[in-house]
């Protein structure tokens, strides 16, 4: 038995991370694959049984996992940024929550005969969307700026706010279960909320002080934060049962809005931890779903799905857009994208376990119905959002553009060549003279430091998918690649090599692990390119064919050509690098820097 428990737990972790990787490959939300994996591993095949794997520990484990996820989500909610999100987001948060929650409660009560309290709790649960499902869809769809900003901010803010609403509704009804009389219910509810707010605020202030004053060594920074969050969650539960989730949410909110507190490393750690927790949690929760419940609900469940997915979102968006600059196309795509995510699944399972112990009627349908809403919205919207956005003309083109760091003569020559080939190019430089020269050549520019906070806010990266660091400063090139490898991907940031005569262990050379990919060739330094362009070398395009292969091309121009790029038959841009293998096939175009032919050559 112990052997099978070990195999089951290991399988959940391995399959969960595989699902996350699969989601990255296909650009679909990971939740989709996690739910399918959970259903296959649980009710379909019976490979895992959470009751056997974790037994009575399931409820506290789910509680802790949800608490950590809510804390991580709350860390991203800054009130100062909410003010800049615009009235559309604020209206969506208020109207969307009320309308979606109300329609969800009405539909579950009418179509499935949910008791009023259970229906209201279901309505509160399904208002939660969240960045774990919205962001992957946005990456795939690439909507225009107003749409992307609204959906991104709504996804970030609705996660903790929606979870908080669900927790408050749940706490109110739990208080009513454990006491009698309206005054007693109100008193118990006040205690629950008060304990959660007070303990969360105190915990946030205390942890903020510890971190801000550097009372912890760096290697304990993240794990100590996790330990304190879990500790305050347990403390809140001990002082006032069911107040833990509210406490950790408030704790995260308090820390997120603390001035002068650097949370970047904590957020990175919590994001990684949340990825693992989400993977485990979804598979475990999905494996507990009773597939027989769907046959019991019949078509009524699908009517609830349609009512929740189509009606409230459209009404909320169109009401929220009154008096704004959003056109009908933008409103339509915003109405279409509102998938439900991890918090809805986790919170519904958590509440179902507790309410089942209290003997609530039809509570066994809460999790299957919530999972149907999640799968229905994620699958339907993931598959249809991109075609719809293209049809409505509210989607940006594929990110095939190039961001070039530098606007010197080398950068200007390469940028102009790419622009003439149809690729969108932006040159960034701290030199006003170089920036002005680039603008005079008709190139799009950003005057400033590409790794500055100003660039984070104002540098337009729409349509950009590659970075070429083309300055004479090797350290700056490497730093630029470090900054944008998370934006574009580690295989999409390139920098010119250092002097090949220098050793890799030279104390003035940036370590390989901190650099981008080598651009063009290991011997093609900035000084070499600059000298060639100064001597009238030109960037030329050559067609490769069956009769004139790429090897023929290199042999014909041997010693006086530096291949820069290749364009495939499908117009995909390939950037030459000795660290990447690429076969230039017939029908492709090769763009090279070609030295001027001497008079002695034919």
238-258 confidence digits (pLDDT tens): 888 767 878 888 888 888 888
Assign 600 a pLDDT band (cuts: 50, 70, 90).
very low
The continuous run of DSSP H or E covering 239 comes out as helix 221-239
In the chain, what is the straight-line distance between the N-terminal and C-terminal CA atoms, in Å?
81
Q: For residue 231, what pLDDT is reported?
A: 92
- Every domain of the chain and the residues it spans: 57-285+293-392, 401-594
Quick check: 602 pLDDT over 50?
no
353, 340 contact by CB (below 8 A): no
Quick check: 429 pLDDT over 70?
yes
Residue located via tokens 């809403």: 373
* Cα 439 to Cα 55, 416, 442, distances in angstroms: 67, 11, 5
Q: What mean pLDDT is predicted for residues 164-171?
A: 74
Rounded CA-CA distance 261/250 in Å is 16
143, 393 contact by CB (below 8 A): no
Higher-pLDDT residue of 11 and 163 is: 11
Q: What mean pLDDT is predicted for residues 441-454?
A: 81
Question: What percentage of the chain has pLDDT greater than the value 90?
Answer: 3
User: Cα 50 vs. chain centroid, distance in angstroms?
Assistant: 29
Q: For residue 198, what pLDDT is reported?
A: 92
282-338 confidence digits (pLDDT tens): 788 778 777 888 888 888 989 999 998 888 888 888 888 887 778 888 888 888 888
Q: What mean pLDDT is predicted for residues 20-34?
A: 78
Quick check: 599 pLDDT over 50?
no
Question: What percentage of the chain has pLDDT greater than the value 70?
Answer: 85
**Cβ-based neighbours of 490, under 8 Å, separated by 6 or more:** none
How many residues are given for the chain?
602
87, 319 contact by CB (below 8 A): no
122-145 confidence digits (pLDDT tens): 888 888 776 667 767 777 777 877
Of 94-103, 178-187, 271-280, 315-324, where does mean pLDDT reach its minimum? 178-187
Which CATH architecture describes the domain 401-594? 3-Layer(aba) Sandwich (3.40)
521-531 confidence digits (pLDDT tens): 888 888 888 88
CATH of domain 57-285+293-392: 1.20.1530.20
Average pLDDT over the chain, rounded to whole? 80
* Cα 556 to Cα 166, 167, 561, 596, 601, distances in angstroms: 71, 72, 10, 14, 12
Q: What mean pLDDT is predicted for residues 90-101?
A: 84
Of 214-228, 257-271, 402-416, where does mean pLDDT reach its minimum? 257-271
The continuous run of DSSP H or E covering 367 comes out as helix 366-392
Higher-pLDDT residue of 290 and 233 is: 233
Q: What mean pLDDT is predicted for residues 175-194?
A: 66
The continuous run of DSSP H or E covering 517 comes out as strand 517-518
Rounded CA-CA distance 536/178 in Å is 85
Query: Do the domains 57-285+293-392 and 401-594 sit in the same CATH topology, yes or no?
Result: no
229, 248 contact by CB (below 8 A): yes
Q: For residue 232, what pLDDT is reported?
A: 92
Q: For residue 86, what pLDDT is reported?
A: 65
The continuous run of DSSP H or E covering 566 comes out as strand 561-567
Quick check: 503 pLDDT over 60?
no
Whether the model pTM is above 0.85: no
Q: For residue 107, what pLDDT is reported?
A: 92
Q: Which two tokens stand for residue 9?
A: 């737990």
Rounded CA-CA distance 209/187 in Å is 32
Rounded CA-CA distance 66/353 in Å is 14
Q: For residue 74, what pLDDT is reported?
A: 75
* Cα 445 to Cα 246, 403, 429, 434, 476, distances in angstroms: 47, 9, 8, 10, 18
Assign 545 a pLDDT band (cuts: 50, 70, 90).
confident
Residue located via tokens 């948060």: 93
């Amino acid at each position: 038995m112990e052997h099978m428990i070990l195999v089951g737990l290991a399988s959940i972790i391995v399959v969960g991370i595989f699902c996350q990787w699969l989601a990255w490959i296909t650009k679909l939300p990971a939740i989709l694959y996690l739910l399918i994996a959970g259903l296959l591993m649980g009710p379909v095949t019976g490979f895992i049984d959470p009751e056997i794997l974790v037994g009575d520990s399931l409820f506290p484990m789910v509680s802790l996992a949800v608490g950590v996820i809510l804390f991580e989500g709350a860390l991203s909610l800054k009130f100062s940024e909410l003010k800049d999100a615009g009235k559309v987001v604020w209206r969506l948060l208020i109207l969307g929550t009320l309308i979606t929650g109300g329609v969800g409660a009405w539909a579950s009560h009418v179509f499935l005969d949910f008791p009023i309290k259970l229906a209201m709790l279901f309505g509160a649960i399904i208002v939660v969307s969240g960045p774990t499902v919205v962001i992957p869809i946005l990456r795939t769809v690439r909507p225009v700026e107003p749409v992307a900003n609204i959906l991104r901010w709504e996804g970030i803010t609705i996660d903790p706010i929606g979870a908080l609403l669900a927790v408050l509704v749940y706490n109110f009804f739990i208080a009513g279960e454990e006491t009698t009389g309206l005054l007693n219910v109100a008193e118990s509810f006040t205690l629950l909320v008060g304990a959660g707010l007070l303990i969360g605020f105190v915990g946030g202030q205390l942890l903020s002080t510890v971190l801000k004053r550097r009372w912890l060594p760096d290697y304990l920074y993240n794990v100590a934060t996790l330990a304190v969050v879990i500790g305050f969650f347990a403390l809140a539960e001990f002082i006032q049962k069911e107040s833990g989730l509210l406490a950790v949410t408030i704790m995260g909110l308090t820390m997120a809005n603390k001035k002068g507190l650097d949370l970047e490393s904590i957020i990175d750690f919590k994001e990684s931890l949340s990825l693992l927790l989400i993977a485990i949690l979804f598979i475990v929760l999905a494996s507990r779903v009773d597939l027989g419940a769907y046959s019991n609900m019949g078509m009524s469940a699908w009517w609830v799905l349609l009512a929740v997915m189509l009606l409230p979102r459209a009404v909320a968006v169109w009401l929220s857009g009154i008096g704004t600059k959003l056109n009908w196309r933008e409103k339509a795509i915003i109405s279409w994208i509102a998938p439900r995510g991890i918090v809805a699944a986790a919170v519904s399972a958590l509440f179902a376990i507790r309410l089942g112990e209290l003997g609530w009627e039809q509570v066994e349908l809460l999790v299957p119905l919530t999972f149907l809403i999640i799968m229905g919205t994620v699958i339907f919207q993931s598959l249809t959002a991109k075609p719809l956005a293209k049809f409505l003309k509210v989607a940006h083109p594929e990110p095939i553009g190039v961001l070039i760091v530098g606007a010197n003569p080398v950068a200007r020559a390469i940028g102009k060549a790419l622009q003439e080939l149809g690729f969108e190019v932006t040159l960034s430089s701290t030199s006003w003279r170089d920036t002005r020269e680039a603008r005079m050549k008709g190139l799009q520019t950003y005057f400033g430091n590409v790794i500055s906070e100003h660039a984070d806010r104002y540098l337009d990266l729409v349509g950009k998918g590659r970075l070429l660091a083309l300055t004479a400063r090797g350290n700056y090139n490497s730093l630029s690649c470090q900054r944008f490898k998370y934006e574009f991907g580690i295989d999409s940031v390139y920098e010119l090599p250092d002097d090949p005569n220098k050793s890799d262990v030279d104390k003035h050379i940036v370590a390989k692990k901190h650099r981008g990919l080598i651009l063009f060739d290991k011997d093609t330094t900035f000084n070499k390119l600059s000298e060639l362009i100064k001597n009238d070398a030109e960037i030329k395009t050559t067609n490769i064919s069956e009769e004139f292969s790429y090897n023929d091309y290199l042999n014909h121009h041997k010693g006086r050509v530096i291949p820069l790029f290749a364009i495939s038959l499908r117009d995909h841009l390939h950037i030459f690098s000795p660290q990447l293998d690429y076969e230039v096939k017939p029908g492709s175009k090769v763009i090279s820097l070609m030295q001027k032919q001497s008079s002695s050559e034919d």
